[in-house]
Amino acid sequence: MIHSTVNWSDFTANLEPTSPLLTMLTPAERAVTMHVRMGLSNKEIAAALGKSPATVKAQVASILRKLDMPTRCRLIAWLHDQAAGSFLS
């Protein structure tokens, strides 16, 4: 469950496609990616975006395939690395 005490802007800041790989994603996939980066489950992402959990599951699978990521955890780590790198540049 999402807690209101969390400052989600800390997690969503700087999510512009800084990597050419992120430009391969559709706008819908980028929206899902933002929520994956926050650590939300498919069910939580579905509720936040007004989609079915099955749609989100399919979009996450597509994102992992397009970005050649073996797992959701690796995707999250890579997204955080991308955001940190853009703060340094």
Q: What is the pLDDT of residue 23?
A: 86
CA distance 78 to 53: 23
Mean pLDDT, consecutive 10-residue stretches, the chain (89 aa), reads: 43 54 90 94 97 98 96 93 64
Q: What is the pLDDT of residue 82?
A: 83
Give the domains, in start order, of the chain with CATH numbers.
22-88 (1.10.10.10)
Q: What is the pLDDT of residue 16?
A: 53
Q: What is the pLDDT of residue 44?
A: 97
Sorted by sequence, the CB contacts under 8 Å of residue 25 that are 6+ apart come out as 17, 33, 63, 66, 67
Say what the pTM is.
Answer: 0.75
